[in-house]
Every structure is written in C-alpha cells, then in structure tokens.
Amino acid sequence: MQHRWAVRGNPSASSISFVVRDEEGELIYARAKGIGIATNMEAEALALLEAVWYCQQKDLKEPIIETDSLVLKRMVDNQWKIPLELEERIEEIRRVI
C-alpha cells in the first residue's frame, strides 16, 4: 500500500490519496479526496489511516506500508514522540495494523 498527501501552505487546503496493490504489484484499489484544511502531518496520518482501514475492511492481512514520510513511519513505529494533535490518529493506525 502506498499513500500520498498534498498541502499548499501549512495548514492549508489539503488532499490525500492511497493505492493498494497485490503481491505482484497489480492495482487493487486507489482513492483520492480533498480533506479541507490540514497540516502536512495531519494529511499524511489521515492518508495512512484510511489506507489501513481499507485493508482491514477487505480483510487484507499483513499489508506492506510504503511511505515517503520518515517522520510518520517513526511515529507509527513508536520511535519518535507523537505531537498531541496527531495522537488519536497514530494510535488508531497502530490498532488497525
């Protein structure tokens, strides 16, 4: 699964997207949508959360997560402190994966 986000300014009008691929790299699902005003990290976390929710709903076991955000990865992996405004989303990501 890969996820992306887009923000102009911080915070600003934002959008998120993610794709889910099978083990051969074939596209299973893709999604993109606007999310309103958000910071870059809020958009990153929401994109990942929606991607893992999708995998859970479709009973896709042990997804491999690809992200270009080292900060988000380290927060999810409990290696970095999570800012208060992201705690709820990061905890939900951890519960789902």
> What mean pLDDT value characterizes the chain?
91
The count of domains in the chain is 1
Enclosing domain of residue 68: 2-96
Structure tokens at 76: 């999810």
Q: Which residues pair with 6 in a beta bridge?
A: 15
Q: Residue 75 sits in a domain of what CATH number?
A: 3.30.420.10
Query: If you compute the radius of gyration of the chain from its CA atoms, what whole number of angstroms results?
Result: 13
Is the full-model pTM beyond 0.85? yes
DSSP code of residue 50: H
Helix or strand holding residue 20 (H, E):
strand 12-21
pLDDT bucket at 4, cuts 50 / 70 / 90: low
Q: Which residues pair with 12 in a beta bridge?
A: 38
pLDDT bucket at 44, cuts 50 / 70 / 90: very high
Peptide bond into 63 cis (omega under 30): no
